[in-house]
Chain A
Amino acid sequence: MKIKYERPVIKKMNAGIMDKFGMPSQYDPVKEIDGVEVKQLIHQYGSPLFVLSEKQIRRNYQSAVRSFSTRYPKVQFAWSYKTNYINAVCKIFHQEGSWAEVVSGFEYLKALNNGVPGHQIIFNGPDKKAEDLRLAITNQSLIHIDHFNELDLIIVICEELNQKAKIAIRVNMDTGIYPIWDRFGFNYENGQAWTAINKVVKASNLELIGLHCHIGTFMLSCSAYEIATQKLCKLAMRCKTELQNTIHYLDLGGGFPSKNNLKGALTGTDSIPTIEEFAETITSTLLSFGFDTNEMPLLILESGRALIDDAGYLIGSVIANKRLSDGRRATIVDFGINLLFTSNWYDHQISAAQEYSQYTEETVLFGPLCMNIDVVRYSINLPLLETGDQLVVHKVGAYNMTQWMQFINMRPAVVLIDTKSSPHLIRKPETLDYLELMEELPTYLNT
């Protein structure tokens, strides 16, 4: 076999001893995903390309359910639509038994279209339109109230429809972490939550059946969940004893981290708690709180990121190599922040898709946009890439396929590799026709 040519590099000597981050990483190439070759995927569906592993999604889901359901008798997951609402993905979660958690009118309709019965849809978020609420109330969905104006609106709509609504109150609280997420829901410490609860219980058309909190995102501390669980339990008990209103479920929200490398994190990914640890904390708090065995509230979890992040890959190709003014190497690839919104938060792990020698070079990874900010990694050690080589970005399943931009470039295709290693196109690459579908040209310009 012909030995591949690699350009010569000069690099500072590194004896390979351990530093505080551990041993230098190995750069094993990732040539295939779930048994399908990266090159074949690019060939078949184009570059760049999002790839999702059905097996990993199911594995994650079952593992999370196992962690909770082997510790607590009544557990329900609700798939957080905003994390990834491609229908194929949602359907996998629903097949596994997940309810739906939505935060807007269109997400709500998407959940209905995916066959989720109304009473298994949780409607969150600060912006629920009157029209959306009407539909949700008629369908007996679980509406999590965010502010008093919404509460008032729901009371009016219920009267107008002459129907009862199933309500939960979103509570925010001090769980010992900074910053406190206090912009959603009603505060626990200053008594607003209790005021809201009283108002719901007194309203004849509202039925208070749950309490909800979501204490943050990418939480790295289990103790915050312990405090949150404790506070929700106290509130539930108070509802029962003071208002004779049984709380049927406690929704602890999501916020469990994935194994992604947060920017600026000193400890790497090893210190990220596993779902097992969160489950142990939450369920032991619930079990020891003192609910009657027959009146244990249902525990709802809305985890998104932790269930899908590592099931998503972005594969792309090298466009060019260049050297910057200060002598650093730069590589331009065909995916940028337009597709990798999460590169704002994470130093994504990126692997090459083909074999190289052991030599690596520190590189700035630029995206394809004509924008200065389009940087995927400011500094990454990569093998000596050449134009046309492929890269694989890991753990991109969460948020990227919902927060991606159609800016300068169109959005690429999304492929799902099923459990038997066959790829399926689940979202076609966008076209100009698609882009212009919604556009209207005033007639006077149409000459």
Chain B
Amino acid sequence: MKKQFVYYSDTVLNSYSILFFSQNKVFGLILLLASFFNITAGITGLVCTLFTVLVMCKLGFNKEITHSGLYSFNALLLGIGFGTFFSFNYSFFLWLIAASLLVIIVSVNLTAFLGKYGLPILSIPFVFVFWLVLIASNGYSGMGLVQKDSYVVFELYIGNARVISEYVNQLPLPNYLALFFRSLSAVLFQNNILAGILIAIGLWIHSRIAFSLVTLGFFIACLINHLTGTYPDGISNYHLGANFMMISLGIGGFFLIPSIRSYFWAAITVLLSFLLVNGMTRFLSIYNLPILSMPFSLLTIGLLYFFMLRIQPGKLRLTPIQNYSPETNLYQYTATKERLKDFHYLPLNLPFMGIWTVSQDYNGQITHKGDWAQALDFVITDLDQQTFEYPGNKLEHYYCFNKPVLACADGFVQEIIQHIEDNRIGQVNLEQNWGNTVILKHAEGLYSKVSHLKQLSVKVKLGDFVKQGDLIALCGSSGRSPEPHLHFQLQTTSYIGSKTISYPFAYFQEHNELKSFTIPKTGDQVQPLETNAYLKQAFNFQPGYQLQLNADDGRIETWETLTNAYNQTYLYCRENHAVAYFVKNNYVFYFTSFYGNKRSLLYLFYKAAYRVHFSAHAVKDEYTIDSSLFKPQLWLQDLIAPFYLFVKSSYSNSYTLVDQGMEIQTDNATIMLTQHGLHSITVKQSKTKTNIKCTIKSI
């Protein structure tokens, strides 16, 4: 019962806050309150919203989408519009219900239709239906819909909470400031400074970036008008609020990741909006229709699609996962750009076993030049940096000669050459420059090539599928190779002699340091990572894995590994429904995001095991800045976050072998692992120390 009430109330509040691309409950409540400054409109708006939510639930539509308010906010707008423009009478309610239903149908259908292209519906259903109603009621007075004020619907409602409103409206506010607040209230079809102030406060609480973008839209629009004199009497507050300011917010901070570029585009779109607003006003005036927020909707959708069609998006990025908060979108994006390299690159391993030394790196002085500059040469060296054992006049004296060469990633064998004789030490074969070579195809446009292999040492056949780490050949000294060494490069085409491309190795070890997604340099002694069995076992959270946790303060939680529709894995806490998404591969485990109760044990674990490398190398990382809580100390950072980040929250850990397994230590937590997996977690918070015992229920 309580759960249902929370669901419905949340849905209603979301329907309000989503008018400003938000899901903030406080902001939703403020908007709800502000809508009641026009009591009739407030009531009809709320009624329409409730009606829609009820219909959606009863008809069995997607609960998640309904909950976000995406289906109901158009009905909300319709309700407010109806209450604002038409007088109450019998037929009012009849047509309100009819129009609401129509809005619902159009919303759902259009959501599905545009959803296929990844595009939003914005307020198109509302505008479309409202136009219908206006045209119909103008032509058929028998319908009984009576407009309240004079014909001009742009003259928006000043409100009937007259006492306070008039007091506020008479405050000696500078003209532009008053206009700013009145414009904000226009989103609710009002022209009320007090409502505007309330909305502005709500918007600030929701997002500092959003606030700055709305201001930017307002400022640019006023500036353009000032310079051109398009509207000699000033821009109407409705156009400002519903079109210029909203499009600045939508483009600059919601659909794009906030950045200097997105702010630039926000400014540009305001200029474009002028054309649309004016053109459409002229066109629609033929039918005596107001343009409402149609220019904003059309322009936003058009621009979005335009941006989506780019092949190389560069630095202006569309929001990949919508968090309904410009701050969260931005912080998550910056964090994942650094942290999710596993998904940007095909994870390549070094093509050999043991410690090898880079003898020539990218743009090397010897042969890595021009189109073939992005290649690496490897040899094996000893304590004295020699590549051979005395006397070094035979191939066999060289440490790397005859050593296995491995597949750097899964792929098909594309090309094999192995008939070329190995050179004697000091001699080179310039005619068959590359020597014996194997080319693997890993993906369309991604090939790897190993060269100077030993004659007749190739262990695979043309067309074979090889897995990462499979033995493909032995290191030799054929081609342009005065002494045994291994040449490795990546290329976009399948030919011997193709030009090289720069591509990093995913994880490897240099001396005792972990390197991830880097390209080694000349002289680096590199080695594939060796993973620790305890770490690997402990973090092997396969779907179905269940862990029970008993804290010494009495808290009990049960976590389970689940996967979502996108094949992303997460730990789910049964008791408090907290969710922590993670990524795991052969070398590393890391959390990507956490949703839910921040006092849960799962949150402690999320913080403690934020990134764990199975090679037991100490790790440093940055937590994603958490903007979901009310944190005024972050406001300044939020405001300038699109341009500069100065707040950092670091994570680091280290690993210690103990008799029965291993300990992972972070600043305030210790995770103990045994051969069976997670054993216990100890967390120190200010002065309290929590011991959590882990019991594995199912693997």
Contact = CB atoms under 8 A, between A and B. Distances in A.
B403 A120 contact: no
A63 interface: yes
A66 B471 contact: no
Interface string B42-79: 00000000000000000000000000000000000000
Given A58-B383, A293-B467, A70 B659 contact: no
A25 to B, nearest CB: 19
Contacts of B675: 119, 140, 166
A379 interface: no
Nearest to A419: B383
B163 interface: no
A69 B353 contact: yes
A138 B658 CA distance: 12
Interface in A91-123: 112, 117-120
Contact of B660 (A59, A68, A139): A139
A74 interface: yes
A134 interface: no
Given A140-B659, A293-B469, A66 B399 contact: yes
A140 B352 CA distance: 33
B354 A66 contact: yes
A119 B657 CA distance: 9
Given A58-B383, A62-B383, A70-B352, A118 B470 contact: no
Contacts of B469: 73, 293
A399 to B, nearest CB: 25
Contacts of B356: 70
A68 B674 CA distance: 28
B475 to A, nearest CB: 9
Contact of B355 (A69, A72, A138, A280): A69
Contacts of A427: none
B474 to A, nearest CB: 10
Nearest to B527: A69
A90 to B, nearest CB: 16
Contacts of B383: 55, 58-59, 62-63
Contact of B659 (A65, A71, A139, A248): A139
B399 A293 contact: no
Contacts of B404: 70-71, 287
Contact of A119 (B399, B402, B528, B660): B660
A68 B403 CA distance: 10
Contact of A62 (B382, B528, B660, B661): B382
A205 B380 CA distance: 45
B353 A71 contact: yes
A59 B381 CA distance: 11
A280 B399 CA distance: 12
Contacts, number: 65
Given A71-B353, A73-B469, A140 B399 contact: no
B338 interface: no
Interface string B338-364: 000000000000001111100000000
Given A59-B383, A63-B382, A72 B353 contact: yes
A69 B530 CA distance: 11
B354 to A, nearest CB: 3
Contact of B382 (A66, A112, A119): A66
Contact of A140 (B402, B470, B530, B660): B660
Contacts of A74: 530
A115 to B, nearest CB: 9
A71 B355 CA distance: 11
B659 A117 contact: yes
A124 to B, nearest CB: 19
Given A71-B404, A287-B471, A293-B467, A66 B660 contact: no
Contacts of B403: 70-71
Nearest to B470: A293
Nearest to B471: A287
Given A59-B382, A293-B467, A69 B354 contact: yes
A119 B675 CA distance: 10
Interface string B372-415: 00000000101100000000000000011011100000000000
A119 B469 CA distance: 28
A94 B329 CA distance: 48
B536 to A, nearest CB: 11
A123 to B, nearest CB: 13
A66 B389 CA distance: 13
Contacts of B661: 119, 140
Contacts of B528: 73
A69 B400 CA distance: 12
Nearest to A72: B353
Nearest to B403: A70
A71 B660 CA distance: 30
B470 A119 contact: no
A214 B470 CA distance: 29
Interface string B650-692: 0000000111110000000000001100000000000000000
Contacts of B533: 248
B593 to A, nearest CB: 29
Q: Which of A71, A119, A120, A166 has the most CB of B within 10 A?
A: A119
23 contacts: A58-B383, A59-B383, A62-B383, A63-B382, A66-B380, A66-B399, A68-B354, A69-B353, A70-B355, A70-B356, A71-B354, A71-B404, A72-B353, A73-B469, A117-B658, A119-B675, A140-B660, A140-B661, A140-B675, A280-B402, A287-B404, A293-B469, A293-B470
Q: Which 7 A-B pairs have the closest CB atoms?
A: A118-B659, A70-B354, A69-B354, A117-B657, A139-B659, A70-B403, A59-B383
Given A120-B657, A293-B467, 8 more contacts: A59-B382, A66-B399, A70-B380, A118-B659, A119-B661, A119-B675, A140-B675, A287-B404
